[in-house]
């Protein structure tokens, strides 16, 4: 294999590694699910269902194939809530837990229980929520940190420098 081809392969691998690293760094933020929190959108949908008395509002965050199970659980919760404050607290928790568990299963993600409200979700979750609320992706698109951008810029510049090298000049250039 020639020097040019070997250098180009190394450069391509470096750029790919940088892109993967950047994706992982950004992905770590987005992997912090807030759907399992007591203040997340899945629990909010359940609360909306029992506040309105309409079980059809609960399954918004689950797969269509799971909607009937959620509606049934919601109807049972609505009936149990009438039995007193202790039954209401138990029924609410059961509905929240069931809804989040089924939602997470639909994402092929592990369910590790309900999380307390007020956790710090990092910057990705609020930016995504804002994008959903406003319909504008500006804040969401600005998520990659400056460090990730600098790393990508550095590796891209290295690739661009090597893009047009002459094979006979490869001996004088450090790798």
Q: Is the pLDDT of residue 30 over 60?
A: no
Q: Is the pLDDT of residue 157 over 90?
A: no
Q: Over pLDDT 90: what percentage of the chain?
A: 35
Q: Is the pLDDT of residue 138 over 50?
A: yes
Span 101-129, average pLDDT: 89
Length reported for the chain: 175
3-class DSSP assignment, residue 71? helix
Q: Over pLDDT 70: what percentage of the chain?
A: 73
- Residue whose C-alpha is closest to residue 60's, from 1, 20, 108, 102: 102
Whether the predicted model's global pTM rises above the 0.85 cut: no
Please report, for residues 38, 58, 61, the alpha-carbon distance to residue 106 in angstroms, rounded to integers and kept in the order given: 19, 15, 9
Task: Give the per-residue pLDDT at 95.
Answer: 93
Task: Give the per-residue pLDDT at 146.
Answer: 59
**Phi, then psi, of 100 in degrees rounded to 5:** -65, -40
């Amino acid at each position: 294999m020639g020097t040019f081809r070997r250098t180009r392969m190394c450069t391509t691998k470096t750029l790919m590694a940088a892109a993967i690293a950047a994706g992982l760094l950004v992905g770590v933020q987005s992997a912090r699910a807030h759907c399992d929190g007591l203040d997340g959108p899945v629990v909010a949908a359940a609360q909306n269902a029992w506040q309105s008395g309409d079980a059809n509002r609960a399954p918004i965050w689950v797969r269509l194939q799971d909607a009937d199970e959620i509606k049934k659980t919601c109807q049972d919760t609505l009936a149990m809530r009438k039995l007193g404050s202790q039954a209401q607290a138990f029924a609410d928790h059961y509905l929240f837990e069931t809804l989040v568990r089924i939602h997470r299963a639909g994402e092929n993600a592990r369910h590790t229980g309900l999380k307390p409200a007020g956790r710090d979700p990092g910057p990705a979750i609020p930016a995504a929520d804002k994008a959903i609320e406003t319909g504008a992706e500006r804040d969401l698109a600005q998520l990659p940190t400056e460090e990730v951008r600098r790393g990508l810029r550095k590796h891209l510049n290295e690739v661009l420098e090597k893009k047009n090298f002459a094979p006979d000049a490869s001996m004088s250039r450090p790798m």
